[in-house]
Structure 1
Amino acid sequence: MSIWNLGSINVDLVYRVPHLPQAGETLAATGFQRGLGGKGANMSVAAARAGARCVHLGAVGRDGRWTVERLMEYGVDTRLIAEMAEATGHAIIAVDESGENSIILHSGANRALDARSLADQLEGAADGDWFVTQNETNAQQETAQVASRRGMKVAYAAAPFEADAVRAVLPVLDLLILNAVEAAQLARALGVAPGRLPVRDVVITKGSKGSVWIETDTGTETTVPALPVEPVDTTGAGDTFTGYLLAGRDRGMPMEQALRLASKAAALMVTRHGTADVIPDLKDVQDMTL
């Protein structure tokens, strides 16, 4: 089977800082890295490194050709990535000494996708393949609907959070992944608790407190604890979790087993500086001991 990911591709500009800047404050960075990022690219790399076949649907500008080459090096199928007149998306990321971050995004080519072309690209998908998207591109709703009609399983990672974006794809979702803050925001916006959403599986991530899987058909909630590690950089941990979770499900793992694998991968990820370029591969995760 395969995972088809409609997702962003960004150039990450990462600055190490003593603390996250306040309004009006100027800080001297203690370090700088440029790397591959974007929630979509991170998830594709994670899924590929977890052993899945992952096809990336997205776009870059001419300045981002190196990002496509990097994705290919990491095992992602890049043949459907378009090159646009717009500049490649980028993110300015500040990471403090405790590993917390703040991020400014410029969408660029990520928001210039053509919905009709994306629908045509899904012609190569098979019944039962996974389709996943996030809120860093355009054409999410249209492409998710096409995927659902083709018999694909549809997952949505609800970040950056917008209630209307989630509402638009809810009718076709099989799996919704969001963090605790996003879950609370969605409940307020829709007036519906996560466990009563019209989605079979809802996963709420809670950082160092682990994750909760809600089977809405039965109302059963399963908590999967996080692994105790000392974080140095939380950037990309949630994307790593999602990519590993989908890869596990694509390989036929039961949900709880896939969640435990994803939790382990995310825990290892936060012990590393960087984003897509440092996402652990499956052997790293399997060999991880605490």
Structure 2
Amino acid sequence: MSEQLADEFDVVTVGRAVVDLYPAEDGRAPRNVESYRQYLGGSPTNVAVAAARAGLRSAVVTRTGDDLFHGFVVDQLETFGVDTRWVRAVPGRRTTLAVCDLENPHSPGLTFYRDTPPPEDALDVAELVAAAAASRVLWITASGFATPQSAAAQSAAIATAHQVFLDLDYRPDFWPSEHALHDRLLPVLSQVDAVIGNLREVAIALGETGTPEDLARRLLSRGARLAVVKQGAAGALAATRELLVEQPAFPVRPVNGLGAGDAFGGLLVKGAVAGWPLSETMRHAAAAGAIVTSRRACSAAMPTMAEVAELLQSHQQCR
């Protein structure tokens, strides 16, 4: 990991950009849904949007299919203030679709319609290395290691990046087994600055179970400087070698929690870039996640800093 300081972008995210299809009505079983609305999606892309909404200079390195959805992805990113210079269409590939099941807002589901290999496996190594060198934070995902060319590009970029945040982002559809994910990720854990995942994801990556604090400490022992274990409605835990922060979740009426972790990630980056204390970073990240949980979409639901501040202030007044 490079010690030089980049100044063109605050964060560059790497990986899938998809089109999310969400039911137009809440609480309906998929068989009863009459219409869907399309939104920009894909976990790393959502993080880039969250960061941009938080006032950071963000960009994505991704690929779409050479199809009718490419223009939609680019237009949406530009609308949200995310740089699109590294977004390209791949001839012969189709943009990934993710269809959401919102029958139970406490447990929303996703079904992916995805080429094999997907468009993002056509990432160019030299391009990603250059993007990593131009940013203060490089955000990569476990899913990016699921296909060969994307894995090679991410691995090369780690060596030139200034700070690397790894989102464990486990999607069972993308891996033959949990064991395959563990084997691929275990050596990566020692190469990155921060690791973020939920309890299940962290346990799979480490090949061990334990309490959130136990798992965070084990990530730190592997070489990370920051370990974050998300626990949904139970909140989140963040650890460095010197600090341990337990952040409760903010109570909201859930509509769709699928983008909450991405909003959380965008504010983690905001805190890292701004030099906030870890406790302040976690409060803002949890607030952003709560706001998105109370909304329908992912990228389009990402809050502004004013909205995050409003939630934090209202919560403070209620204490």
The TM-score by the shorter chain falls in which range?
0.7 to 0.9
Change over 3 Å in CA distance of 1:5–1:184 after alignment to 2: same
Query: 1:133 and 2:140 equivalent?
Result: yes
Map of 2:44 onto structure 1: 40
Higher helix share: 2
In the alignment, the residues of structure 1 paired with residue 209 and residue 287 of structure 2 have an alpha-carbon distance, to the nearest angstrom, of 32
CA contact (8 A) 2:257 2:293 kept: yes
In the alignment, the residues of structure 2 paired with residue 260 and residue 89 of structure 1 have an alpha-carbon distance, to the nearest angstrom, of 33
Q: Normalising to structure 2: TM-score of the pair?
A: 0.80
CA drift at 1:97: 4.3
In the alignment, the residues of structure 1 paired with residue 304 and residue 162 of structure 2 have an alpha-carbon distance, to the nearest angstrom, of 26
Query: 1:100 and 2:107 equivalent?
Result: yes
Query: 1:157 and 2:163 equivalent?
Result: no
In the alignment, the residues of structure 1 paired with residue 284 and residue 253 of structure 2 have an alpha-carbon distance, to the nearest angstrom, of 18
Map of 1:195 onto structure 2: 217
| Structure 1 residue runs without a partner (length 5+) | 22-26
Query: 1:207 and 2:224 equivalent?
Result: no
Greater CA drift, 203-212 or 102-111: 102-111
Change over 3 Å in CA distance of 1:89–1:98 after alignment to 2: closer
Query: 1:147 and 2:165 equivalent?
Result: no
CA contact (8 A) 1:156 1:173 kept: yes
Which one of the candidate residues 52, 77, 85 is aligned to 2:56? 52
| Structure 2 residue runs without a partner (length 5+) | 1-6, 172-180
Which one of the candidate residues 12, 16, 27 is aligned to 1:4? 12
In the alignment, the residues of structure 2 paired with residue 107 and residue 136 of structure 1 have an alpha-carbon distance, to the nearest angstrom, of 13
In the alignment, the residues of structure 1 paired with residue 197 and residue 129 of structure 2 have an alpha-carbon distance, to the nearest angstrom, of 29
CA contact (8 A) 1:176 1:202 kept: yes
Change over 3 Å in CA distance of 1:190–1:84 after alignment to 2: farther
Query: 1:282 and 2:305 equivalent?
Result: yes
Query: 1:76 and 2:82 equivalent?
Result: yes
Map of 1:247 onto structure 2: 270
Map of 1:265 onto structure 2: 288
Letter in 2 for 1:196: R
Which one of the candidate residues 188, 194, 199 is aligned to 1:175? 194
* 1:202-255 alpha-carbon deviations (Å, 9 max, x no partner): 10011111100122x34x432011111111111211111111111221122222
CA contact (8 A) 2:105 2:254 kept: yes
Letter in 2 for 1:203: V
CA RMSD of aligned residues (A): 2.5
CA contact (8 A) 1:214 1:222 kept: yes
CA drift at 1:256: 2.1
* Count of residue correspondences: 281
Change over 3 Å in CA distance of 1:184–1:190 after alignment to 2: closer
